[in-house]
Structure 1
């Protein structure tokens, strides 16, 4: 098979399983596929249909079913805005979905009517410290140098700047461990919230999950958010054995054992990353709260 040749071109039968795009709104038919994701699925499974309609190339497909807009968005360094052109929405949606339904079995939440708990979302805002404000300004200066090509890419680049910005937003000590622990930081606000929930639900031994993709424990003595949170919760009176890291369960058998302890109420606080504690984490029996300290890097991991 040549590069770019669709897998159906030689009579190969192909089935894609587990493709579960989620609707933007209740009952919506505008699935949260990125345009190129939907196009790629169609190219795999109905290339002949695309060819027959002159849509085998993405540019033709996008101009038929998509609309782009140019709008201001926050720059990666987080200090100013810039104009960016993006694929904004689908149009000719009935025709697109009629074509897509030839290869897709679509089941919405309204159709499945699965029993799911009611979710209450809380966005907790914290003010940046003076040190964080100064560091954000320095990120902007670094970004200006990168755009002006005044610095070599191996020395500094936008990926490094963006990553430093993510660390800074989580805790300023991730940039410099010698910096003070800001009492009003995101981490300390989360600790306050977790302890309050732990105390309020002591009678039912309800469980909590905390997701944090940055600053995972390495066991080498360096500062990380995981150890910092656990130490602060223990200092407030939560037994150490009730707080666990998903990283401590290195095998499937150990994960199964750990999840069983969460379901039984023996472990009441479990910390982990999206990758290690995402799909397949069967601990919902006593689950009362989920805390998200940072935003996942990969789009599909954003709920």
Structure 2
């Protein structure tokens, strides 16, 4: 039965109006024809507003749109649109009323309830978790010095038996050795010929070291700083292509230089364009939403295709190298695939993908043509780090066919099934509170987990307690030190508030050089650390967040400077005292040129002024080479 028919019946029974609905499942788009609702009291008062009638709100609900009402003002400079907060909130309240009423209405008819429940269960609630047990694995060629844990053997066996897998293993689970053993066992069994292991730059030496520790006779090729420089890149790839390797270990940043044949990516885009052209011929003449969406998707693909036309494949491609499996450690760095959505105004949704993620997507699709079912293995202790939409990207990488089978290949259809929107008061950069709608929670969690676990092997921190001993926190739990806002910071928040209002009042899209909300947020984050990051001439404020950090770090240094700590082998570390790690992605040395102040430099200079020897303070950035980072962290 057409899913639109139930919505039509709902409107007839609850609003007393006949409407037409066009649904295109290939795009997850809906068009509602309900002009009469814009003329009736039911449509403009009970179920809608005078500025957003019930028919328009139905279209919003079905297409996962968040209604926004704008006022248009005319002056000497032209027209400008300003968000009407009151009318917008009124429309959103009516939208929520419609959604709740539909949920209640569905259950009022037992036959309808049974039918819809059957449709849902047949489509989504039909996965039974497959169980894996690798206890039988002997791992020929592996060093007898290591005894792998049960969850490691399970992960190895899962990759061997089912191919493409997400190793969602918590920190400390031993993912590197799991990946190494999975590669070697697949090689031994003839399931793959040449694997490419992609790791973060700072983990390159460690990954190679652990791989060889477990498999001393493994033939691995490592793309480090000495052999993957620009002038040596072609030679390295020639070695990778012409010799027999168990694994090629390469960094995230170097992976982008391994190209797929441009003809393949062009064909991928051409196939998508042909699909959209075919869908356009099937779109109902009244289905405006689907038609516009198809045109937008086509434009995006055309732009990407034009960019490929100028690309030159100067280096050997992944096909010529012979790679038939890609294994990515810390895969959360590739989490942002772009997608089309009507929900882009919602917080918690970022449809703008990264080139890094698209690059992996294309390469995995290509390798899939060479080694079906074994193209990609991802590993991370934190699969989702920022937005709920990242789960959709993971499923596109490893569960694309399952999404398509369930009609969830478009983000909005997926989000309407598994996500929920909430509106809460949130503090703004200006210090004021504002109601913010956010894609903030999952629904239908059991079904989503079942789809995820169809390709994911999960190890939680609690699963590691018998293997990994985590030291107790001396204070019992993490301590949060709060710096009170200084008078100068409160004054600066008023400047931020003025900038936000100017941006909201601006008509049209931002032009190069215009202030944008992201810049306001960034300045607010910097100012919260130290006002000198936004106003270099500002005086030093003793009670700001940066100086609170300095005083705390100095206190710990002074309290522990005479303490002796032991290495795992029982020997004492050469340098007494506790080691402290200070993290900040803002105020680094690199921003000193643009912002006129560096939090990093201030921390070091202040600690030295207070009495900490300069030799006991190091910047990680000064040890950016792989060997240097290893020396710093091992010391």
Give yes or no for TM over 0.5: yes
Matched residues in 2 for 1:222 and 1:82: separation?
32
Matches within 5 A, 1:285-300: none
Which among 565, 578, 591 is matched to residue 206 of structure 1?
578
Bigger shift: residues 183-192 or 77-86: 77-86
1:2 aligns with: 268
Is the 8 Å Cα contact of residues 14 and 45 (structure 1) preserved in structure 2?
no
The answer to which structure has the higher helix fraction is 2
2:538 aligns with: 179
Matches within 5 A, 1:47-196: 47-75=400-428, 77-113=429-465, 114-119=468-473, 120-149=477-506, 154-196=513-555
Structure 1 or 2, whichever has the larger Rg, is: 2
1:19 aligns with: 380
Give RMSD over aligned pairs: 2.7
Is the 8 Å Cα contact of residues 21 and 33 (structure 1) preserved in structure 2?
no
Is the 8 Å Cα contact of residues 67 and 87 (structure 1) preserved in structure 2?
yes
Spell out, residue by residue over 1:87-116, the C-alpha distance to the aligned partner (whole angstroms, 9 max, x if none).
222222112222222111111112222222
Matches within 5 A, 1:223-262: 223-261=597-635
Matched residues in 2 for 1:127 and 1:196: separation?
20
Would the alpha carbon gap of residues 206 and 17 (structure 1) be closer, same or farther in structure 2, given more than 3 Å must change? Answer: same
Would the alpha carbon gap of residues 235 and 33 (structure 1) be closer, same or farther in structure 2, given more than 3 Å must change? Answer: closer
The CA deviation at 1:79 is 2.7
Matched residues in 2 for 1:152 and 1:48: separation?
40
Is the 8 Å Cα contact of residues 65 and 90 (structure 1) preserved in structure 2?
yes
Is the 8 Å Cα contact of residues 164 and 175 (structure 1) preserved in structure 2?
yes
Matched residues in 1 for 2:406 and 2:536: separation?
59
Would the alpha carbon gap of residues 193 and 67 (structure 1) be closer, same or farther in structure 2, given more than 3 Å must change? Answer: same
The CA deviation at 1:242 is 0.8
1:273 aligns with: none
Would the alpha carbon gap of residues 96 and 190 (structure 1) be closer, same or farther in structure 2, given more than 3 Å must change? Answer: same
Give unmatched runs, 5+ long, in structure 2. Answer: 1-266, 273-360, 564-576
Give unmatched runs, 5+ long, in structure 1. Answer: 23-30, 262-303
The CA deviation at 1:258 is 2.5
Would the alpha carbon gap of residues 58 and 193 (structure 1) be closer, same or farther in structure 2, given more than 3 Å must change? Answer: same
Aligned length: 252
Matched residues in 2 for 1:88 and 1:222: separation?
37
The CA deviation at 1:71 is 2.2
The CA deviation at 1:83 is 2.6
The CA deviation at 1:235 is 1.6
1:276 aligns with: none
The CA deviation at 1:50 is 2.2
Would the alpha carbon gap of residues 238 and 15 (structure 1) be closer, same or farther in structure 2, given more than 3 Å must change? Answer: same
SS in structure 2 at match of 1:55: coil
TM-score, normalization by structure 2: 0.37
TM-score, normalization by structure 1: 0.74
SS in structure 1 at match of 2:450: helix
1:282 aligns with: none
The CA deviation at 1:180 is 1.0
The CA deviation at 1:33 is 7.3
Matched residues in 2 for 1:100 and 1:167: separation?
37
The CA deviation at 1:35 is 3.2
Matched residues in 2 for 1:185 and 1:254: separation?
33
